[in-house]
Chain A
Amino acid sequence: MTAPALLAVRDLRTTYLRASGPARAVDGVSFDVASGETVALVGESGCGKTAIALSLMRLLPRHGRIEPGSQVAFDGRDLLGLDERAMRDLRGRRLAMIFQEPASALNPVMRVGEQVAEVARVHGERSRRAAWERAVAMLRRTGIADAPARARQYPHELSGGMRQRVLIAMALLLEPALVIADEPTSALDVTVQAQILDLLRELQRETGTAVLFITHDFGVVAELCSRALVMREGRLVEDAPVERLFAAPAHPYTAELLRAVPRLAERP
Chain B
Amino acid sequence: MTDDEKFFAWLDGELAPEDAAEMDARVAADPELARLAEQHRKLGNRLSAAFDPIAQAPVPEQLVAAARPSGHVIDFEAAKRARGIPSFPQWTALAATLAVGIFVGTIVQQRGSTPIEVQGGKIYAAAALNRALDTQLASAPSGDVRIGVTFRDRTGEICRTFTETASSGLACRSNGRWRVNGLFASPEGQASDYRMAGGMDPNLAALMDSTIAGEPFDAAAEKAAKAGGWK
Do A and B share a complex?
no
